[in-house]
């Protein structure tokens, strides 16, 4: 005890005077004791496992914090990738749209022997959600939406767009299912002529009942049914 007091440079009298209040009477002391006991009761028993629980909780907190940081980093990375994809998508869409639109304006008057047509974006401010509208002006008519054209004009306008796309981005083959059905003989001839011009890059499989179109083909495949429920395939080479 003396060593402790000496180390802290205190004497018993000084230490006693530090905590003893001579003016405190007995009643006041009892009140303070009761107040302190009440505080101790409110605090409750000392949890001897609190330190261990704290360490476990801290480890869990640190683990979850690291998981949160990793998820936020992954989210930021994904957002950057999405932004890059959206940017590339917009650039390629616009590039292809302008190329197809330019070619469409050449193919349309070729098939119609006059007139004009173009593609329009329905929402230029949002290229990822925009639609594409076709406006066309066949010879002798006013510029209008494709929905207002006649059946034959709609078919030939749609064919013009298909051919424009294939001329910009050729595909190994193209299937046309009775596209020439609503066309008159003059337009069928132009339709067949353009197919023939494009066969150097694309093979066309054409389903038709039109004799003009059949005459243009290299190979004809016919389906007959000599017996009910039994189909037979017949091929004829015209090359």
- Residue range 198-221, pLDDT digits in tens: 999 999 999 999 999 999 999 999
- Residue range 105-136, pLDDT digits in tens: 999 999 999 999 999 999 999 999 999 999 99
Report how many domains make up the chain: 2
Q: Is residue 148 located within the same domain as residue 186?
A: no
Q: Is residue 97 located within the same domain as residue 163?
A: yes
Q: Is residue 100's pLDDT more than 80?
A: yes
Looking at residues 2-9, what average pLDDT do you find? 50
Nearest to 203 by CA among 175, 231, 184, 164: 175
Looking at residues 80-99, what average pLDDT do you find? 95
Which DSSP symbol is given to 178? S
Which of helix, strand or coil describes residue 179? coil
| Per-residue pLDDT, 14 | 52
- Top pLDDT among 106 and 237 is at 106
Q: Is residue 67 located within the same domain as residue 109?
A: yes
pTM of the model: 0.68
Can you give the residue range of the structural domain that contains 84? 62-169
Looking at residues 12-23, what average pLDDT do you find? 54
Q: Is residue 70 located within the same domain as residue 96?
A: yes
Looking at residues 54-67, what average pLDDT do you find? 93
Asked, for residue 165, whether it belongs to a domain, the answer is yes
Q: Is residue 188 located within the same domain as residue 147?
A: no
Q: What is the CATH number of the domain that holds 121?
A: 3.40.50.300
| Per-residue pLDDT, 5 | 44
Where does a domain end: 140, 169, 198? Answer: 169
Where does a domain end: 169, 188, 219? Answer: 169
- With beta carbons less than 8 A apart as the criterion, state whether 204 and 186 touch: no
Q: Is residue 74 located within the same domain as residue 117?
A: yes
- Measured between alpha carbons, how far is 100 from 165 in angstroms, rounded to an integer? 6
Asked, for residue 91, whether it belongs to a domain, the answer is yes
Asked, for residue 7, whether it belongs to a domain, the answer is no
Q: Is residue 142 located within the same domain as residue 72?
A: yes
**C-beta atoms surrounding 188 within 10 Å:** 20
- Top pLDDT among 1 and 34 is at 34
11: pLDDT confidence band, cut at 50, 70 and 90?
Answer: low
């Amino acid at each position: 005890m003396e060593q402790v007091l000496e180390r802290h440079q205190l004497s018993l009298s000084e230490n006693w005077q530090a905590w003893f209040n001579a003016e405190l009477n007995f009643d006041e002391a009892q009140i303070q004791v009761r107040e302190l006991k009440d505080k101790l009761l409110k605090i409750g028993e000392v949890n001897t496992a609190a330190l261990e629980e704290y360490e476990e909780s801290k480890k869990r907190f640190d683990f979850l914090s690291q998981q949160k940081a990793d998820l936020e980093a992954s989210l930021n990375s994904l957002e950057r990738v999405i932004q890059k994809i959206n940017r590339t998508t917009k650039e390629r869409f616009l590039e292809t749209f302008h190329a197809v639109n330019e070619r469409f304006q050449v193919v349309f008057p070729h098939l119609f022997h006059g007139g004009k047509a173009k593609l329009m974006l329905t929402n230029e401010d949002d290229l990822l959600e925009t639609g594409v509208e076709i406006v066309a002006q066949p010879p002798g008519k006013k510029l209008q939406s494709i929905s207002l054209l006649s059946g034959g004009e709609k078919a030939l306008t749609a064919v013009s767009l298909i051919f424009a796309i294939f001329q910009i981005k050729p595909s190994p083959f193209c299937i046309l299912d009775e596209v020439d059905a609503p066309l008159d003989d003059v337009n069928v001839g132009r339709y067949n002529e353009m197919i023939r011009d494009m066969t150097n890059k694309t093979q066309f499989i054409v389903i038709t009942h039109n004799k003009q179109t059949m005459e243009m083909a290299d190979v004809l495949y016919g389906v007959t049914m000599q017996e009910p429920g039994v189909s037979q395939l017949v091929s004829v080479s015209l090359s």
